[in-house]
Chain A
Amino acid sequence: DAGVIQSPRHEVTEMGQEVTLRCKPISGHDYLFWYRQTMMRGLELLIYFNNNVPIDDSGMPEDRFSAKMPNASFSTLKIQPSEPRDSAVYFCASSFSLGGAGTEAFFGQGTRLTVV
C-alpha cells in the first residue's frame, strides 16, 4: 500500500480564498483523522470519521472549517474563507479497529498551508 496520501503538499493562498485539502486513507482502514500542527498549539485533532461518518468534530475551530468523507477512500478538509491564522501543517491519518479497539495511526506527509 502506498500509505496515506495527501494533496497538495504545499498550498499558498490569499486571505479570503477557499482552500480544499485532500486525503486518501490506507485501504481497509475504517478511521480517518484530520490533525493540525502549529508552533503555538502543537498537534491538535480537528475531526475524525469512523466508517465515513463524522464522530467528533469538536476540534474544528470555526464554521469556516468543514470536512467530508463521501466514501471509504477519500476525504476533504475545506476552509472557506481562509485567514492568515489558518497557516499550519494539516495532517490526515488513518487506522483500523481491532477487536473494538483502535490501532496505531498512519500519517500522510501533510499539507503545508500558507495564507497570505
Chain B
Amino acid sequence: AQTVTQSQPEMSVQEAETVTLSCTYDTSENNYYLFWYKQPPSRQMILVIRQEAYKQQNATENRFSVNFQKAAKSFSLKISDSQLGDTAMYFCAFMTARYGSRLTFGEGTQLTVNP
C-alpha cells in the first residue's frame, strides 16, 4: 500500500519570502507520479505541480518548484516570492498507473501568507 505523509500541519510565511513544504511517501512501485494540490478557502482542489518519478529533473511552475529525492522518497514543494493568494491547504498526492490513476493524499499543510 502507498502512504503519503506531510509532517507539518501548519506553516506561515511573510509575503515575498520563500517557504518549503515537506512530503514523504512510501511505495514499492517504480513508476509513479507525485502531485501538489492547493485547496484555498473556496475548497476547490487546484493542481499546483506534478512530477514523474522517471524524470530526474525537478519540476518547476513559475514560483513553484519541487525537490524530488527518489531514493529518500521525499517530495518537497518550494514557493518563492510568496503571495497572499498562496494562503491555502496544500496536499501532497501520489499516483501509480497500477492502481488506475487514483490518488493517495497526505494529511495536508495549512499555509498562511502574512502581509
Contacts and interface: CB of A to CB of B under 8 A. Distances in A.
A103 B45 contact: no
A87 interface: no
A110 interface: yes
A107 B101 contact: no
A91 B31 contact: no
Contacts, number: 63
A95 B64 CA distance: 23
Nearest to B6: A42
Interface residues of A, number: 27
Contact of A56 (B37, B43, B45, B100): B100
B35 interface: yes
Interface in A35-57: 35, 42-45, 48, 50, 55-56
Contacts of A84: none
Interface of B: 31, 33, 35, 37, 42-47, 50, 91, 95, 97, 99-108
Interface of A: 31, 33, 35, 42-45, 48, 50, 55-56, 89, 91, 93, 95, 97, 100-107, 109-110, 112
